[in-house]
């Protein structure tokens, strides 16, 4: 999945932004960096915000203006957007194009100032709710240039989306004469990703995202998946069996290798987990090699019912009780893991 810069968008952004978030995270490869509702500081002290930016190595930077509309209506000589509830919204082509062009220039200047880069920057409109197959072609406004917009049909897969981006790139270069640019390399995209995520520049950035090994018992599989989702939404990679054990490989060597490479060992403890030999094996390995231990009790168990082994070996570690995902505790885990990762040599 693509790498997320910053936080995932909440429901306030509307269904179209939520759709694009899930599409990008599920269908685009991991070399793509995506930022939703990024706030770009301008020289005059103002903050510039756009819907979504994609950093794609060897292709460029794509700014997407995402619209919560499902079609068009022609009335009194004018075309209007129509949202899900049937309301008509204004459709001013000149204002829209000028705003998009302004966004492209703002992003270009910011990248030049912060990263000394001048990659091609494209601005596109995205309408995930518009299905061209359901529209009367006569209802499509004349200025709705299909070369410059992304519709539902372009979001059928990562491949169709990339084809549309390449087509838009060719169209934009021909239209505005973008004949000079610097290639956006994989390292450039990584540098941007880590700077946005951690504030750490170039040579100081880690060679991989911060990540934790998640140890749990299968009885706690549901909350382990929830924790994985929210941590990865915040830029922390989670190694969790069986998802991260390659097909045909033995569990134990893969788990031991992941524990050795992780930044921190996140253990979910419960009545079944504290009596699991597999969880204990993983915990012993993490202790032996000195990994930072982050204990989370997913059940509030009285001290008298604790397994003596964990009661003895966890006394020096601060723990948290989290029967279900809790925002403050998640943020505490994220902060801890990123701090540990930033200190990695």
* Greatest distance between any 2 Cα atoms in the chain: 79
Distance of CA 74 to the CA centre of its chain: 38
Two tokens, residue 238: 């989670």
CA distance linking residue 319 with residue 311, whole number of Å: 12
Q: Residue 204 has what pLDDT?
A: 47
Spell out the residues 6+ positions from residue 72 whose beta carbon is closer than 8 angstroms to its own.
79, 80, 81, 82, 91, 135, 139, 140, 141, 144
CA distance linking residue 32 with residue 24, whole number of Å: 9
What is the full per-residue pLDDT of the chain (345 aa) written as tens digits?
Answer: 788 877 778 777 788 888 899 899 889 888 888 888 887 776 666 777 788 889 888 888 888 888 888 887 777 777 777 888 778 777 655 556 666 667 777 777 887 777 777 788 888 888 898 888 777 766 677 767 777 789 899 999 989 999 888 887 776 666 655 555 667 777 777 677 666 666 555 544 445 678 899 999 999 999 999 998 888 877 788 888 877 666 666 778 888 888 988 899 999 999 999 989 999 999 999 999 999 999 999 998 887 888 888 888 887 888 899 999 998 999 999 989 988 887 765
CA distance linking residue 283 with residue 285, whole number of Å: 5
Two tokens, residue 129: 């709710």
Per-residue HEC secondary structure of the chain comes to: CCEEECCCCCHHHCHHHHHHHHHHHHHCCCCCEEEECCEEECCCCCEEECCEEEEECCCEEEEEEECCCCEEEEECCEEEEECCCCCEECCCHHHHHHHHHHHHHHHHHHHHHHHCCCCCEEEEEEECCCCHHHCCHHHCCCCCCCCCEEEHHHHCCHHHHHHHHHHHHHHHHHHHCCCCCCCCCHHHHHHHHHHHHHCCCHHHCCCCCCEEEEECCHHHHHHHHHHHHHHHHCCCEEECCCCCCCCCCCHHHHHHHHHHHCCEEEEEECCCHHHCHHHHHHHHHHHHCCCCEEEEECCCCCHHHCCHHHHHHCCCCCCEECCCCCHHHHHHHHHHHHHHHHCCC
Q: Residue 95 has what pLDDT?
A: 58
> Peptide bond preceding 242: is omega within 30 degrees of 0, i.e. cis?
yes
Asked whether 24 and 82 are in contact (CB, 8 A), the reply is no
Asked whether 119 and 184 are in contact (CB, 8 A), the reply is yes
Asked whether 254 and 282 are in contact (CB, 8 A), the reply is no
Two tokens, residue 282: 């993983």
CA distance linking residue 207 with residue 341, whole number of Å: 10
Look up tokens 């459709």; give the residue. Answer: 91
Q: Residue 206 has what pLDDT?
A: 47
- The C-alpha angle 32, 34, 36, rounded to 5 degrees, equals 170
CA distance linking residue 146 with residue 164, whole number of Å: 10
Q: Residue 205 has what pLDDT?
A: 44
Spell out the residues 6+ positions from residue 214 whose beta carbon is closer than 8 angstroms to its own.
224, 227, 228, 238, 239, 240, 266, 268
Asked whether 64 and 126 are in contact (CB, 8 A), the reply is yes
């Amino acid at each position: 999945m693509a790498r997320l810069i910053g936080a995932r968008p909440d429901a306030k952004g509307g269904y179209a932004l939520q759709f694009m978030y899930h599409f990008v995270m599920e269908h685009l490869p991991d070399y793509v960096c995506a930022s939703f509702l990024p706030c770009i500081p301008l020289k005059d002290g103002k903050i510039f915000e756009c819907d979504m930016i994609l950093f794609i190595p060897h292709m460029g930077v794509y700014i997407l203006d995402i619209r919560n509309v499902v079609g068009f209506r022609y009335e009194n000589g004018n075309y209007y957007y129509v949202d899900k509830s049937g309301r008509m919204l204004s459709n001013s082509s000149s204002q829209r194009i000028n705003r998009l062009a302004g966004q492209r220039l703002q992003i270009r200047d910011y990248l030049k100032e912060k990263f000394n880069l001048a990659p091609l920057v494209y601005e596109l409109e995205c309408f995930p709710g518009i299905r061209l197959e359901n529209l009367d072609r006569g209802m499509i406004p004349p200025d709705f240039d299909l070369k410059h917009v992304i519709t539902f049909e372009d979001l059928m897969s990562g491949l169709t989306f990339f084809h549309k981006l390449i087509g838009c790139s060719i169209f934009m270069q021909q239209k505005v004469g973008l004949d000079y640019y610097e290639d956006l390399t994989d390292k450039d995209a990584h540098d941007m990703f880590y700077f946005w995520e951690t504030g750490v520049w170039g040579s100081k950035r880690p060679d991989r995202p911060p990540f934790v090994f998640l140890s749990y018992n299968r009885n706690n599989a549901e909350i382990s998946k929830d924790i994985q989702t929210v941590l990865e939404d915040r830029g922390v990679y989670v190694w969790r069996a069986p998802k991260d054990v390659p097909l045909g490989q033995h569990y134990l060597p893969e788990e031991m290798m992941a524990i050795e490479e992780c930044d921190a060992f996140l253990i979910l403890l419960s009545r079944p987990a504290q009596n699991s030999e597999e969880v204990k094996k993983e915990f012993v390995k993490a202790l032996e090699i000195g990994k930072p231990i982050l204990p989370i009790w997913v059940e509030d168990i009285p001290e008298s019912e604790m397994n003596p082994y964990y009661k003895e070996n966890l006394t020096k570690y601060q723990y948290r009780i989290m029967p279900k995902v809790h925002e403050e505790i998640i943020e505490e885990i994220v902060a801890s893991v990123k701090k540990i990762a930033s200190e990695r040599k």
